């Protein structure tokens, strides 16, 4: 029985599991969104929340605690410099899970694990006029017979 036993083993030995968690944390904080299986996302979600809470303290001790779990100094700098201040007013709930279908190979449920206040790349709405206009209905994708008739008419004219 597993009464009151929490945590996810994910079919890995302890060292491999912690390496997986570290890699997922680095990817999450670097890209602010990752796609992974639902079980892995649920397992790493709590750790990500703890790292952001530590980063909000912005002390040397907190930085060292985060570095013990997230081994990439560039990502830790990004976490303390941009991510934590952006989430400063929020008391927890820094991540969200969005279902993303199933994986083709083994039908495992996939999710997007992302930071709630994620900054998206600006979309070019100004370039809307630069896009190629659609052809009026009937001109695009005309059938072969019709094209031949139009070419014959153009050639004889």
Residue-averaged pLDDT of the chain = 86
pLDDT band at 143 (very low <50, low <70, confident <90, very high): low
Q: What would the pLDDT profile of 39-67 be if each residue is shown by its tens digit?
A: 999 999 999 999 999 999 999 999 999 99
Ramachandran quadrant class, 68 (left: phi over 0; alpha: psi -120 to 50; beta: rest): alpha
- Does domain 14-119 fall into CATH 3.90.1030.10? yes
Q: How far apart (Å, rounded) are the C-alpha atoms in residues 37 and 106?
A: 11
pLDDT band at 4 (very low <50, low <70, confident <90, very high): confident
The more confidently predicted of residues 42 and 150 is 42
Q: What pLDDT shows up at residue 121?
A: 62
Q: What pLDDT shows up at residue 118?
A: 73
- Region 114-135 average pLDDT: 67
The more confidently predicted of residues 145 and 90 is 90
Q: What are phi and psi of 50, to 5 degrees?
A: -65, -40
């Amino acid at each position: 029985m597993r009464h009151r036993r929490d945590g996810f083993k994910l079919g890995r030995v302890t060292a491999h599991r912690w390496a997986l968690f570290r890699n997922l944390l680095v990817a999450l904080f670097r890209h602010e969104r990752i796609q992974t299986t639902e079980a892995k996302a649920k397992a790493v979600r709590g750790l990500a929340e703890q790292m952001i809470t530590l980063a909000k303290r912005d002390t040397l001790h907190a930085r060292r605690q985060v570095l013990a779990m997230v081994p990439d100094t560039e990502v830790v700098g990004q976490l303390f410099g941009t991510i934590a201040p952006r989430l400063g007013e929020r008391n927890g709930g820094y991540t969200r899970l969005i279902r993303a279908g199933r994986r083709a190979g083994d039908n495992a449920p996939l999710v997007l694990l992302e930071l709630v206040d994620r900054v998206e790349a600006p979309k070019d709405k100004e370039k809307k006029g630069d896009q190629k206009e659609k052809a009026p209905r009937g001109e695009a994708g005309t059938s072969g017979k019709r094209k031949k008739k139009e070419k014959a008419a153009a050639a004889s004219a």
